[in-house]
A and B are shown apart, each in its own frame.
Chain A
Amino acid sequence: MVMEMMIDAELRLGPPGCDVTVVQPARKKPASAAKRPSSVVRSEASGTDDHDDASPASKVQVVGWPPVRAYRKNAFHAAAEAASARTTAKKGEQGGGLYVKVSMDGAPYLRKVDLRTYDGYRELRDALDVLFGCFSSSSADGGGGGCQFAIAYEDKDGDLMLAGDVPWDMFICSCKKLRIMRGSEAR
């Protein structure tokens, strides 16, 4: 969660009225543990960089500005990364992912889950376990074995697939419906 930065100690002071204190290096990952960084700096364009195709709206960042505490910055980075991870998952495909119906053989009604909120198959499995109680007889280390139920899904083409074969990100883009099937039927 904490992104510590090592500051290269060379700062140049511009003439009075100049609004930028330039710091030389781009970000460096730290070697060791939790000292508060002396400053958090990202320089997206150094002063001497004259490439015309530099990323738009990027500028040299001023040390210690805006005045946001290092502690708060670190905490926010982690949250922003988590949030953007969710957003990129969301932006997967047109109409893919998001809320899908979940049916279980023998259950009187269906449920709906938001695939965006899970990070992987294990979490999906745990969530479905809470909703349906289908995996609670199996051991904590999931998969195969004496498990009675399997998670299957209907993809964009309408085919019934066994969940777990493709990477998670690909799965949530193509999954339209979930179906919890009895192990005997799944074979």
Chain B
Amino acid sequence: MGRGGSRASPAAAAPPWHALPDEVWEHAFSFLPADSDRGAAAASCRSWLRAERRSRRRLAVANCYAASPQDAVDRFPSVRAVEVKGKPHFADFGLVPPAWGAAAAPWVEAAADGWPLLEELSFKRMVVTDDCLEIIAASFRNFQVLRLVSCEGFSTAGLSAIASGCRNLRELDLQENEIEDCSIQWLNLFPESFTSLVTLNFSCLEGDVNITVLDRLVTRCHNLKTLKLNNAIPLDKLANLLRKAPQIVELGTGKFSADYHLDLFLKLESAFSGCKSLRRLSGAWDAVPEYLPAFYCVCEGLTSLNLSYATVRGPELIKFIGRCKNLQLLWVMDLIEDRGLAVVASSCNKLQELRVFPSAPFDAAEQVSLTERGLVDVSASCPMLESVLYFCRRMTNEALITIAKNRPNFTCFRLCILEPHTPDYITHQPLDVGFSAIVESCKGLRRLSVSGLLTDNVFKSIGAHADRLEMLSIAFAGNSDLGLHYILSGCKSLKKLEIRDCPFGDKPLLANAAKLETMRSLWMSSCSLTLGACRQLARKMPRLSVEVMNYSRGACPLDSLTDESPIETIYVYRTIAGPRSDTPACVQIV
């Protein structure tokens, strides 16, 4: 506040600070990296609003329906980088109907019109069409960064447009999208004169890629730092590519299995040893243990390792990870088991983020020896550990209490016990006490997912103690309306709440209606809500959009249903754009 950062005016007395020219404020605001700080500054007075909005370069729209694209363009005319997010998080697990919305097209069109100098565009969980990509390629002369995460609706034809049209492209980052393969060799369309690529990630692409073209592209892009290949690139081609790009910092391997041949192994090992700057490694689908030692020479330098698609188990995996002494991020399958995590605990003391994914999420018979023990070990020995996502089959309150005591610095704690309603496997008690210990100890906790058998008591603790909590995910938990009431009446910083299959009803929702406007969004599915409550909520809070989704065949118009009708799913979010007009039949706005 008030840090003009300017030189004093010469001679006469300096102008009062509130009369300083806008350029001074714009310069001052450039030191505020957080959008929330800039927003707060902009709310102070008109001149700051003017200065801030005109100098804003980066814009993040966390809910594409919270404001209209035109609002964004009008308010922030000088933006160079935009990120827009669409579908609610539970869309990742199939809980959102396919045609729900989140079209990127209105944003792309508004941007093409209002932000011709746009350089970066990032979409997450949105529907991006080939048309969108063509418009992007044609509209922004200095377009540099395209990042699409968990999007769908486009094909390799759209990628061709980007490749041929974006002369200054630096980053093409495609993460976990559904991309239709039109068998178009889009990589060919990067012109021979094109050398500016720094990031190329096409790991989610399913089709084949012309290796020769890729090779030439990699060879001529001397600044390439991130290369993430797809599953279609075989192991021997990987070695060739690495030779052409020894400066690589982040690598996503293609398919990492092949029949074991000593000469291929040696070729790989030699290629990797040339990559002195390699710090982040991912991919490794179907990794075959015999080839893991080819990586040994880079282990020491690795800070990030994503083996979450590698179905490797056993001693080779553990030996490999044990050599990675400088890891800060580790994503693995539960095939690492407790004994593997014990090695992680003793070897990887700089670990900050751990994610353990289930190898057989639907098959209880497939027993993997990953229990609470692994998480306890890692949290005891890794002092910088602050973010955890852990899928397991059993847990105890005692383990959680120990973890909470060892690691008060958690910012993100997501525990998923695979079987709903699983109690403490030793005492058979609910896991209330354990999760309460987590929220009481970890004062900086921003994200929490709870699971297992839980009563309303755990929500009392969360509501009371989790002051910094921004996102909370609840499933198959609680026993009455009180549970939801504790959350909504507490949790001062709550932004996103997503709930499924909990016995929460209308009363706490209506009693805490005002809270919802302080939050970005609320998702509730398979709870005990009625249409009447939704109607009341919508009436009471005009700046909330209350979307109701029922999966019944042939969606009935809501008007014909009574207040008592049960509602399968609601999605409530604050918006300044009014009710959206692109809902499919199964989604209705109350």
Contacts and interface: CB of A to CB of B under 8 A. Distances in A.
Interface of A: 1-2, 7, 9-11, 13, 16-17, 19, 21, 33-40, 42, 57, 61-73, 75-76, 79-80, 82-83, 114, 117-118, 123, 127, 130-131
Interface string B190-215: 00000000000000101000000000
8 nearest interchain CB pairs?
Answer: A39-B94, A16-B503, A64-B93, A79-B311, A71-B176, A69-B92, A64-B95, A64-B94
A60 to B, nearest CB: 11
Given A13-B568, A35-B178, A73 B551 contact: no
Interface stretch (B113-121, B375-383, B414-422, B485-493): B414-422
A44 B277 CA distance: 49
Interface of B is mostly: loop
A66 B473 CA distance: 13
B447 to A, nearest CB: 14
A34 B259 contact: no
B94 A66 contact: no
B150 A67 contact: no
Contacts of B90: 64
A82 B286 CA distance: 8
A130 B263 contact: yes
Contacts of B551: 9-11
Interface centre among B260, B311, B360, B566, by most chain A C-beta atoms within 10 angstroms, is B311
A64 B96 CA distance: 10
A11 B361 contact: no
B261 A9 contact: no
Given A2-B206, A118-B259, A38 B364 contact: no
B272 interface: no
Interface in B486-532: 500-503, 505, 526-528
A35 B94 contact: no
A67 B501 contact: no
A148 B34 CA distance: 72
20 contacts: A1-B231, A10-B551, A13-B526, A16-B528, A19-B476, A35-B178, A36-B178, A38-B94, A38-B97, A38-B98, A39-B95, A63-B94, A64-B90, A64-B94, A66-B418, A67-B475, A68-B357, A69-B150, A76-B309, A80-B360
A120 to B, nearest CB: 11
B98 to A, nearest CB: 5
A10 B553 contact: yes
Contacts of A114: 260
B134 interface: no
B349 interface: no
B364 A42 contact: no
Contacts of A36: 98, 152, 178
Contacts of B288: 117
Nearest to B181: A34
Contacts of A40: 94
B477 to A, nearest CB: 10
Nearest to A37: B94
B285 interface: yes
Interface of A is mostly: loop
Contacts of B95: 39, 63-64
B359 interface: yes
B45 interface: no
B383 to A, nearest CB: 29
B378 to A, nearest CB: 21
B479 interface: yes
Contacts of B140: none
A66 B362 CA distance: 8
A34 B152 CA distance: 9
B481 to A, nearest CB: 10
Contacts of A79: 285-286, 309, 311
B260 A117 contact: yes
B440 interface: no
A25 to B, nearest CB: 13
B552 interface: yes
Interface centre among A11, A34, A118, by most chain B C-beta atoms within 10 angstroms, is A34
B179 interface: yes
Interface string B412-445: 0000101011000000000000000000000000
Contacts of B362: 42, 61
A7 B259 CA distance: 38
Contacts of B475: 65, 67
B421 A19 contact: yes
Contacts of B418: 66
Contact of A66 (B97, B365, B391, B528): B391
A42 B503 CA distance: 25
Contacts of A37: 94
Contacts of A68: 93, 357-358, 361, 391
Contacts of B502: 16
B98 A34 contact: no
B261 A1 contact: no
Contact of A72 (B357, B473, B526, B528): B357
Contacts of B358: 66, 68
A13 B566 contact: yes
Contacts of A34: 178-181, 206
Nearest to B155: A34
Contacts of A11: 551, 568
Contacts of A35: 98, 152, 178
A65 B420 contact: yes
Contacts of A1: 206, 231
B308 interface: yes
